[in-house]
Amino acid sequence: MSHLLDNPVRSSLTGPHAGFAERRGDVLRYPFEVCPFAALPDEPGDADWADAAELAGPGGVLPLGRIQVAPPAGWEVTVIGEGVQMTGEDLAAAADPEAVVLGPADVPEMLDLTKRTRPGPFMKRTIELGTYLGFRHDGRLVAMAGERLHPAGWTEISAVCTEPAWRGRGLATRLVLALGAGILARGETPFLQALTSNTTAIKLYEELGFRPRRTIMFAVARVPEARLSRG
């Protein structure tokens, strides 16, 4: 691996998020209620895929942000789509006094908002991964964004979403800039990942100062029902 962001899930779980890591051999994953992602070594062998199967269980699924080697026979790999990874060295970050810090008591509303707007996986304990900010109107959560993956020196901005009736008012922009300000203030660099089909979001991120770094494939690997041999 030439760069921490080439395998950001693994870099996170062997770095600042090591306390979350569930491990079998060289295969790592987050607890499912925190984040569904798992990571294999950069050049996985049959033994690594067997360890991955043990982690997920027969028929279980492992969302993988990076599959660089075809799995053994019996695995089913579903490609969700091509994405782009973007870094924010030039982000025009700015704190926002109207953005509120979201906490455990806000999780039911956050789960509801992400379920309806579908910005990507957000689980019951995802909020434990970093800072989450939101905007409220008449007490109702109408927009949110937060921090997810955390390779050393980098923090991913994720779960950027806005209630449909409140889109077009710049709320997502303000949240991304506010999160970016906090990330940069602690000496780290923000990054994010988006499906290439989400051209509107990518254009916005570029306008804010994010630059494309590399293409990625979002995929899910399903464990065979039969137990795999370790070879």
Domain that holds residue 90: 86-215
Are 103 and 173 in a shared domain?
Answer: yes
Same domain assignment for residues 103 and 204: yes
Residue 171 confidence (pLDDT): 97
Question: Do both 51 and 121 map to the same domain?
Answer: no
Q: Does residue 102 lie within any of the structural domains? A: yes
Does residue 183 share a domain with residue 115? yes
- Specify the number of domains making up the chain: 2
Q: Are 152 and 169 part of one and the same domain?
A: yes
21 plus 48 within the same structural domain: yes
- Supply the CATH number for residue 124's domain: 3.40.630.30
Q: Clarify whether residues 9 and 92 are in a common domain.
A: no
Are residue 54 and residue 135 in the same domain, yes or no? no
User: Which of 63, 64, 83, 66 shows the shortest CA–CA distance to 195?
Assistant: 83
* Same domain, residue pair 102 and 60: no
For the chain, list the strands marked E by DSSP.
Answer: 22-24, 27-29, 38-39, 61-64, 76-87, 100-101, 132-137, 140-147, 154-162, 189-195, 211-222
Q: How far apart are CA 140 and CA 124, in angstroms?
A: 19
* Cα 145 from chain centroid (whole Å): 12
Mean pLDDT by 10 residues, the chain (231 residues): 87 97 96 93 89 89 74 82 93 96 98 95 97 97 98 97 96 97 97 93 94 90 70 52
Other C-beta atoms lying within 10 Å of the C-beta of residue 86: 23
Structural domain contains residue 11: yes
Q: Is the pTM of this model over 0.85?
A: yes
